[in-house]
Structure 1
Amino acid sequence: MSSSPSDTATPAKGFRIPKVPFWAQILAGLVLGVVLGWVANTWDVAWLGTALTKVGEIFVQLLKLAVAPLVFFAITISITNLRNVHNAARLATRTLLWFMATSLIAVALGLLIGLVTNPGSGTGLSAKDAAEPDTQGSWLDFLTGIIPKDVITPFTELQVLQIVFMAVVVGIAALKLGEKAEPILKLGESVLALLQKALWWIIRLAPVGTIGLIGTAIKDYGWDLIGSYATFTADIYVGCALVLFGVYPLLLGTVAKVNPLQFFKGAWPAIQLAFVSRSSVGTMPLTQKVTERLGVPKEYASFAVPFGSTTKMDGCASIYPAIAAIFVGEFFHVDMGLKEYLLIVFVSVIGSAATAGLTGATVMLTLTLSTLGLPLEGVGLLLAIDPILDMMRTATNVAGQVVIPVLVSAKEKILDREMFAHARSFSIEDADAPVGPRPAVTQEPVTTG
């Protein structure tokens, strides 16, 4: 007996749950976090507040767990990878100069916004709200704190600047040793790959972590407190937005001669993760991935991104301390003049490594205030609102950490413009997939004026 067509037809495919884009997951986490935080704050739901706090703390703790070894191996390997890049010293120098140039632009914008809006006036806060922070920064600590006393403490106490110092020393020593260092470098590359794979798993938890972090901020501070800092908060967000959506696109269009909209398509996954995680170092693997997908050679991206993640902080180290210093000066009725404003510029451009790519910018702010002679108690005024501000600051930081490698690659004629033109946002599930083949890194002779 012959089978009917219906008998031989291919069975219908089972129902499949559609993938939710990572940005949609993050957005859902933001909305749910705000709602749950508002409920916990309004009706004083203790168990909900505790749950939100623990979820946020665990997510940040997981990010920090990988920070120390990730920074060490990423920077060590990035320095040794420069041996595969023609004219590596030139690339490194131009990268650092662009870091400083964009920091200068960012701090100038911050000063301008602060002077126009007077964020420290009419806040409704009183001196009792001020308190000196537990963690402070000084130039002596900054300079002497770069060199560790031993090789263990920087990892156990998460002294990122000291870890960077050791990584740079080891990387340069490995370059000098040549073939003798190859076994150690291969081990380091394997360890770095393992750390990055583990961090991808943590990154996938970002939507859940977002619920806890945002919910805790709303639960602890509420809308009334946010209203007291309305001008200051708006200043930080406007300043960061001007750099993120104004300065960076202008530089990309005029210096790199690439499409800024195309840049944001490719870089958006890292920018949105930075916004919710508030950690440049925690975002580093994703930042490097989007940088490579935008056409920056892997050998150069693996140097520029790790260094940027620990030293390139336009949001935390330029815009924020500039506006915050004006806020504190106005609150305590301390007059500042041209000398003080120039000192703010100096601290922001030179001392940005003090932020170390971790959540928060307290050390950088105390370094700025102490240099200006302003009361450190002013930091206590700003700690309450810091988590809300830190999201936008970190997003700006990470965007800058992608912009500079694109700029330098374009100027040095090693940017793969075809890859840049086809760069797109991608799902977090595909983020750790290989970028694909690209031309070898070569440079055309460049005549400098």
Structure 2
Amino acid sequence: MSVSATTAAPKASFKFPFWAQIVTGLVLGVLLGWLARSQDISWLHTTLEKVGDIFVQLLKLAVAPLVFFAILVSITNLRKVNNAARLASRTLLWFMITSLIAVAIGLTIGLLTDPGAGTGLTPADGKLPKRTGSWIDFLTGIVPTDVITPFTELNVLQIVFMAAVAGIAALQLGEKAQPVLTFAESVLELLQKALWWVIRLAPLGTVGLIGTAIGTYGWDLIGKYATFTADVYIGCALVLFGVYPLLLATVAKVSPLQFFKGAWPAIQLAFVSRSSVGTMPVTQKVTERLGVPKEYASFAVPFGATTKMDGCAAIYPALAAIFIAQIFGVQLGIKDYLIIAFVSVVGSAATAGLTGATVMLTLTLSTLGLPLEGVGLLLAIDPILDMMRTATNVAGQSLVPVVVAAREGILDKEAYASASASPIDGPSAHEAEQKAAVPVAAV
């Protein structure tokens, strides 16, 4: 039986782009934060703080199960990819290469600008951080003492370890593990769906987070850290808009502009949320949209979200070490700079994709023998720095799979060329919108 249907295309309606919502939230947050501080409006400051805290808490709520099931599923998905071991090793290699480049840029900028000079800060202004990191803690902290504590204390590194062990075991068991894998894939989809709802609240979260930062710290405090803040933003910008496009053009031989067009939803969300793990579902969507095979992207992106931190674990510790050394009157030499580079490459998993980079910084300082009180000097300014650091992290987490896929000949060039910064509602919703825009054919 043939049914003829002529459904007219719906009238075009104005849609407020997601990036514009983020920018609006950013501007509104700055204005409200300034108003709360300048007029001493306590209830407004409290409201902004609560809005920002709730948004971050909602992101963190899904972190533990999301990381576990994402890593588990991503490892088992490698069985569907040819040359899985080669892809995994190439991914890790490019993580290390880009981290080395990033830390070199951070060290160079720090040596050229002397960020600790003329700040008026003294060692007395520093204080010991609540969370610290050392090589012993890092190495012994990978293996959990039980299976519950890592989830209740949000120890992402231990969660990654357990997920990796479970994934490798599932690969060894083969078909016997299929029921568990089916369950894991279903839970992962459920978590990602729920997280999409939280992500849609990002413009509102932006108002709270930016407003709180301005209302709490104001412009006076930023002035004391002007050189250091500029160094972090310039260093991240050089990596984000200099190194990454160069790698795309020369190594992957694809358009850098097209990459940013496709990856922008993840980069802008990372800037606001300050969480690589919280942004992970968006990062994976845009990476797949850029033509990286789903099976490989589902491994590389979760792996990168917990270990690939060019902003937090490379540029920032390098600059912070120089800054703190200058405040405390400690001279750093070539050996110290090499140690910073080594720690940045090997210890980046200590950041674990969460908001802030305190653990990574204390790991670097303790290895160099610098006073950990120096971390206290940077805590006040950290939220403002973390936005640009996380945006750089996430861009790198999407870039490396694109580079590796292009070099291995598995990148879908047509998909890459057509990638766009469409709303981050997930592919099914976007496809539904696209289908609704055309007449229904006769069937």
User: TM-score, normalised to structure 2's length?
Assistant: 0.94
**1:275 equivalenced with 2:271 (yes/no):** yes
**1:120 equivalenced with 2:119 (yes/no):** no
**Residue in structure 2 matching 1:370, options 366, 382, 391:** 366
Q: What is the Cα deviation at residue 17 of structure 1?
A: 6.3
Aligned partners of 1:221, 1:247: CA distance in 2, in Å? Answer: 32
**Residue in structure 1 matching 2:80, options 65, 84, 89:** 84
Q: What is the Cα deviation at residue 126 of structure 1?
A: 3.0
Aligned to 1:138: 134
**1:71 equivalenced with 2:67 (yes/no):** yes
Q: What is the Cα deviation at residue 256 of structure 1?
A: 0.3
Aligned to 2:325: 329
Which residue type is aligned with residue 396 of structure 1?
A: T
Q: What is the Cα deviation at residue 369 of structure 1?
A: 0.4
**Residue in structure 2 matching 1:405, options 401, 404, 410:** 401
**Residue in structure 2 matching 1:170, options 166, 177, 189:** 166
Aligned to 1:154: 150
Aligned to 1:285: 281
Q: What is the Cα deviation at residue 434 of structure 1?
A: 7.5
3-state DSSP of counterpart to 1:119: coil
**Residue in structure 1 matching 2:104, options 108, 114, 119:** 108
Distance of aligned partners of 1:432 and 1:383 in 2 relative to their CA distance in 1, 3 Å threshold: farther
Q: What is the Cα deviation at residue 129 of structure 1?
A: 2.0
Which residue type is aligned with residue 418 of structure 1?
A: E
The residue correspondences of 1:35-434 to structure 2 (distance < 5 A) are 35-430=31-426, 433=429
Which residue type is aligned with residue 298 of structure 1?
A: K
Aligned partners of 1:308, 1:433: CA distance in 2, in Å? Answer: 26
Aligned partners of 2:68, 2:389: CA distance in 1, in Å? Answer: 24
Aligned partners of 1:177, 1:202: CA distance in 2, in Å? Answer: 36
Aligned to 1:31: 27
3-state DSSP of counterpart to 2:422: coil
Distance of aligned partners of 1:404 and 1:51 in 2 relative to their CA distance in 1, 3 Å threshold: same
3-state DSSP of counterpart to 2:15: coil
Q: What is the Cα deviation at residue 16 of structure 1?
A: 8.5
Which residue type is aligned with residue 50 of structure 1?
A: T
3-state DSSP of counterpart to 2:278: coil
Aligned partners of 1:256, 1:208: CA distance in 2, in Å? Answer: 37
3-state DSSP of counterpart to 2:314: helix
3-state DSSP of counterpart to 1:330: helix
Residue pair 2:141, 2:158 contacting (<8 A) in 1 also:
yes
Aligned partners of 2:51, 2:217: CA distance in 1, in Å? Answer: 17
Which residue type is aligned with residue 75 of structure 2?
A: I
Aligned partners of 1:308, 1:432: CA distance in 2, in Å? Answer: 25
Q: What is the Cα deviation at residue 427 of structure 1?
A: 1.1
Aligned partners of 1:430, 1:315: CA distance in 2, in Å? Answer: 27
Tell me whether 16-25 or 416-425 shows the greater mean CA deviation.
Answer: 16-25
Q: What is the Cα deviation at residue 363 of structure 1?
A: 0.2
Which residue type is aligned with residue 265 of structure 1?
A: K
Superposed CA deviations along residues 183-242 of structure 1, whole A, max 9, x for unmatched, are 000000000000000000000000000000000000110000001100000000000000
Which residue type is aligned with residue 273 of structure 1?
A: L
Which residue type is aligned with residue 233 of structure 2?
A: Y
Which residue type is aligned with residue 246 of structure 2?
A: L
Residue pair 2:125, 2:377 contacting (<8 A) in 1 also:
yes
Aligned partners of 2:289, 2:11: CA distance in 1, in Å? Answer: 33
Aligned partners of 2:12, 2:258: CA distance in 1, in Å? Answer: 31
Q: What is the Cα deviation at residue 309 of structure 1?
A: 0.2
Aligned partners of 1:309, 1:107: CA distance in 2, in Å? Answer: 18
For the aligned residue pairs, the C-alpha RMSD in angstroms reads: 1.6
Q: What is the Cα deviation at residue 15 of structure 1?
A: 9.7
Q: Which runs of 5+ in 1 are unaligned?
A: 1-12, 437-449
3-state DSSP of counterpart to 2:277: coil
Residue pair 1:200, 1:432 contacting (<8 A) in 2 also:
no
Residue pair 2:134, 2:366 contacting (<8 A) in 1 also:
yes
Q: What is the Cα deviation at residue 145 of structure 1?
A: 0.2
Aligned partners of 1:128, 1:368: CA distance in 2, in Å? Answer: 21
Q: What is the Cα deviation at residue 127 of structure 1?
A: 3.0
Aligned partners of 2:413, 2:276: CA distance in 1, in Å? Answer: 26
Which residue type is aligned with residue 195 of structure 2?
A: L
Aligned partners of 2:428, 2:312: CA distance in 1, in Å? Answer: 28
Aligned partners of 2:14, 2:159: CA distance in 1, in Å? Answer: 42
Which residue type is aligned with residue 309 of structure 2?
A: M
Residue pair 1:289, 1:432 contacting (<8 A) in 2 also:
no
Superposed CA deviations along residues 391-423 of structure 1, whole A, max 9, x for unmatched, are 000000000000000000001000000110111
Q: What is the Cα deviation at residue 124 of structure 1?
A: 1.8
Aligned partners of 1:413, 1:296: CA distance in 2, in Å? Answer: 10
Aligned partners of 1:17, 1:304: CA distance in 2, in Å? Answer: 37
Aligned partners of 2:337, 2:64: CA distance in 1, in Å? Answer: 34
Which residue type is aligned with residue 373 of structure 1?
A: G
Residue pair 2:285, 2:426 contacting (<8 A) in 1 also:
no
Q: What is the Cα deviation at residue 435 of structure 1?
A: 7.9
Q: What is the Cα deviation at residue 430 of structure 1?
A: 5.0
Q: What is the Cα deviation at residue 128 of structure 1?
A: 3.2
Distance of aligned partners of 1:434 and 1:27 in 2 relative to their CA distance in 1, 3 Å threshold: closer
User: TM-score, normalised to structure 1's length?
Assistant: 0.93
